[in-house]
Chain A
Amino acid sequence: MILLDNVTVQVPGWRAPITILHNQTVLFRKRARVSILAPAGSGRTTLARVLGGVKRPMRGRVFIEGSVGWPIGFSGLLNPMLTLAENIAHVAGLLHVTSGEIGAVVAWFCDSDKILERRVMTLAPSERALAVFAISLAVPVDHLIADDKIMVSDTRIAARSEQLLRRRLDGAGLIFLSRNAKLLERWCDEHYVLLNGSLRAVADPTEGQCLLDAQAKTEIAEFNDV
């Protein structure tokens, strides 16, 4: 369960802080698969960090029951100068699991044991993407967070990445933030749209997209009037 209790999230702006969420109270139930439709530049990554418990909101509180992963496919954890195995050992050490557990998932996912001994800087971008995807899903958590990326784009691996993701979703919740309404609809069954600092519940992401389009038209009209 993740509860946003009267939460306001802001990021520093050029002249004044930019509000991403304003006084929002929302409950994401245990094992719920929640989509948040949010356009580019609306604060999706910041909101993912708040929901992941790594950023404090400006006001209000975030209650997280259970464990939360970092955004699926987040690549920043890999140091390019180290081998994949060394990077995995560090992630495993911080998560208090054995590196073998993560390494086995990565080796299976990448279809190679040898990849673990290679320096990250020698990996092709596609290999790196596979590795970070597998690392982010290697340890089971109660809540998965996806910030725009939820699957690897490599069609050869698509079936395997779906298998891994579905396995991890077994008994876990998902909060998926994206601007892609179709993808959100595929993976989630509760839907929200991030609109003017509020998380508005909608029937499906298509309805959310209509609201975003209507808002964009209004803003363009106001701009033209000025």
Chain B
Amino acid sequence: MVFSGASTRAARTNIAPWPARIATLVQRERKTRFAGGRLGALWAYITPVTWVGFVVLFYRFTGRHAPLDAGLEIFVAVGFLPYIIFRQTITSMSRGAISNRAMLVIRGVRVGDLLTASAVQELINSLVLMTVVLGGISLLFGARPPADIARAVEGIACAWLLGVGLGRMLAVVSLMSDTIFRMIPIILRPTFWISGIFYTAHELLGPIYDILAWSPLLHATEILREGYFLGYRSPLSDARFVLVVALVPYVISFPLEMILVRRDVSRYRS
């Protein structure tokens, strides 16, 4: 047989350095998330495209128009993307931490590695999703390309960072509590209505404006709109506010992770 030269001596440390570890876990995350079906990773794009399609149909049936000088399809897609990215990031971080927890049996692999890998994978997905959906609409419906690509990417990044911040905290708590894990979709449900999919900040009036001004997801959506639609300026597009809101749960997640690891309060038996 077979035993290679390396087998004659034990490795001094049997764990890959952090970047290689994350790259491996990202690869595993990519392969496992949509493994099994024929369409595979295409589901990452089919789901949001279907959502956008349904909302466009709803607009058409109800006779609504885009409140900006833009096609209905591109307006809906730009409004939808931050919400989808935010939500998918949270969901995949929570699921990734649970589905890949067996990898923690390898000394040196940490819960934080699993969460970072999910977040990185979701960032890649987000950028591809943005390119595919917005590029596809531009090709199919002749929508104009983004006016300011950097600002558009900033909007996407804000939505992703919000997802990473809240997702990290919820993922750690989900490892402790099945109740919290099952509550995540319920917790996220209202964000659909406060993310600005159906309206712009300019359309909000009085107390509704005052309340929704505190929605970081609305800020992310408006930042993306500013980047996408030439001349559009929103009163609610503060990236620093989004960053602070994302940082709060992100920072909280670290002591929670310490409690999870040190007190061994995971709901799973490793």
Closest B residue by C-beta to A101: B4
B10 touches A140 (CB 8 A): yes
CB <8 Å contact, B265 and A12 = yes
Are B11 and A94 touching (Cβ within 8 A)? no
A45 touching B269 in the complex, CB below 8 Å, given contacts A67-B12, A82-B32: yes
Of A66, A90, A97, which is in contact with the most chain B CB atoms at under 10 Å from its CB? Answer: A90
| Closest B residue to A136 using CB positions | B105
B38 at the A/B interface (Cβ < 8 Å)?
no
B17, CB-defined interface residue at 8 Å: yes
Is A96 in contact with B15, judged by CB distance below 8 angstroms? Answer: yes
Interface residues of B in 250-270 (CB under 8 A from A): 261-265, 269-270
A66 to B10, CA, bound (A): 8
Is B106's CB under 8 angstroms from A96's CB? no
> A40 near B: Cβ within 8 Å?
no
- Complex Cα distance, B70 from A13, in Å, reads 60
Q: Which of A86, A104, A139, A171 meets B31, CB within 8 Å? A: A86
Q: Which of A54, A55, A95, A101 contacts B14 (CB 8 A)?
A: A95
Size range of the interface on B? 35 or more
**Nearest neighbor of B265 in chain A, beta-carbon distance:** A12
- Distance, CA A49 to CA B269, complexed state (A): 11
B107 touches A68 (CB 8 A): yes
CA distance A96 to B16 in the complex (A): 4
Note all chain B residues with C-beta closer than 8 A to A208: none
Asked whether B15 lies within 8 Å of A94 as measured between CB atoms, the reply is yes
- Most chain A CB inside 10 Å of its own CB: which residue of B16, B20, B264: B264
Q: Does A28 contact B (CB under 8 A)?
A: no
Q: Decide: A94 near B109, CB < 8 A? Known: A68-B14, A139-B14.
A: yes
Q: Which of B22-30, B52-60, B163-171, B235-243 contacts A (4 or more CB under 8 A)?
A: B22-30
User: With an 8 A cutoff between CB atoms, is B61 at the interface?
Assistant: no
Say yes or no: A82 contacts B14, CB within 8 Å: no
Rounded to whole angstroms, the CA-CA distance of A101 and B14 in the bound complex is 14
Nearest CB in chain A: distance from B232 CB, A: 44
Expressed in whole angstroms, the minimum distance between the Cβ of B24 and any Cβ of chain A is: 3
| Nearest chain A CB to B12 CB, angstrom units | 6
CB distance from B103 to the nearest CB of A (A): 7
**Chain A residues close to B by CB (< 8 Å):** 10-12, 45-46, 49, 52-56, 58, 66-71, 74, 76-77, 79, 81-82, 86, 89-91, 93-97, 101, 104-105, 108, 139-142, 167, 171-172
List, sorted by A's number, 6 A–B pairs whose CB atoms are closer than 8 Å.
Answer: A68-B107, A76-B105, A94-B106, A95-B14, A140-B6, A140-B10
Known pairs A54-B104, A96-B20; list 5 more (Cβ under 8 Å). Answer: A70-B107, A81-B36, A90-B103, A101-B4, A141-B14
Nearest 5 interchain pairs by C-beta: A93-B24, A76-B102, A81-B35, A96-B16, A67-B14
